[in-house]
Structure 1
Amino acid sequence: MNRSRNLPLLLLEPSALLRQTVALTAISIGAGSVWQASNVREAQELLLARQFAGAVVAVDEDEGSTDGVLQLIEAIRGGKLASAADMPVYVLASACSRALLEKLHPLEVQRVLIKPFKARLLIEALSSISS
């Protein structure tokens, strides 16, 4: 997989504070630009309109966002959006049940980061997307 460093990262996270933290971390390590979405609808519109090097998406089982986010990842993997079907996808989650892991596994998610996560883990994930 030869990814262009010119492609931005898509970040789907409802919390403005966490979105800003992840975006600033990506920029500070030279991972490129970050396009932000606060909900699945916004993320889908962005994914339909342009290509991304990778995505970091939040799933919160307690908030009921799981189905929409899983459908979004399925659309990416199915090649139904502008980005490559094999682009890296990382998941941010407040908790990760066995049931959620079983749903994520066939979608070839690279890693699940449990909130609150260590900065080192985020940097590793962002670095792997941009390389």
Structure 2
Amino acid sequence: MNGVSLQVMPPQLLLVEPDNLVRNTVAGVCRELELAQVHQAASLSVGVQMLQAQAMDLLLLSLSEADAAIDLIARLRAGGFSSAPDAPVAVMAVATDATTVQRLKALKIRRLLLQPFKIHDVVHTVEALCAHVVPPASAQTLSGSTSTA
């Protein structure tokens, strides 16, 4: 008898947040709820290195380094990484101004979370981002088993 199963891997989420408590809490909840495979970075420079090394399906970025974060998103949208240029992105900020919001809108950011936020807001945000991810063929694994009766 041949058995074949198709398993879809969870989306790859790049989480860039300098605050250890916030980053670890968000990552822990995403893992516990099996929303995504979380890749954590404490800075944008580390996040860029991770994007250069591996394609990510979605991004959740802190705006603590506002201009650098916006530059990273612009580079993503321009196809500067192996991730899809239209990968869903959400950002987190303590505060922001109208100019920054306009720049984010131009880069097609899906959501802006203002801190402090409730963890369920992050969960809903990640769920919404995941809903916009189309799993690539490489994200699916085919496993088969054979046995004789």
Instruction: Give yes or no for TM over 0.5.
Output: yes
Other structure's SS at 1:22 match: helix
4+ residue runs over 4 A deviation: none
Where structure 1 has 5 or more consecutive residues not aligned to the other structure, the ranges are none
Q: What corresponds to 2:84 in structure 1?
A: 84
Amino acid at match of 1:31: L
Matches within 5 A, 1:89-128: 89-128=89-128
- 8 Å contact kept, 2:15–2:39: yes
Structure having the higher Rg: 2
In the alignment of these two chains, the number of paired residues is 124
Higher RCO by CA contacts (8 Å cutoff, separation 6 or greater): 2
Other structure's SS at 1:56 match: strand
Q: What corresponds to 1:16 in structure 2?
A: 20
For residue 55 of structure 2, the aligned residue among 31, 51, 64 is 51
Q: Distance in 1 between matches of 2:35 and 2:9?
A: 8
Amino acid at match of 1:44: V
1:128 CA displacement:
2.2
Other structure's SS at 1:11 match: strand
Matches within 5 A, 1:1-80: 5-60=9-64, 65-80=65-80
Other structure's SS at 2:25 match: helix
Structure 1's 5 and 86: CA in aligned 2 closer, same or farther, altered over 3 A?
farther
Amino acid at match of 1:16: N
Where structure 2 has 5 or more consecutive residues not aligned to the other structure, the ranges are 1-7, 132-149
Q: What do residues 10-36 of structure 1 show as CA deviations (whole Å, max 9, x unaligned)?
A: 000001111101101111221122111
TM-score (norm 2): 0.78
Structure ranking higher in strand proportion: 2
Other structure's SS at 2:56 match: coil
Q: What do residues 58-78 of structure 1 show as CA deviations (whole Å, max 9, x unaligned)?
A: 003xxxx11111110001111
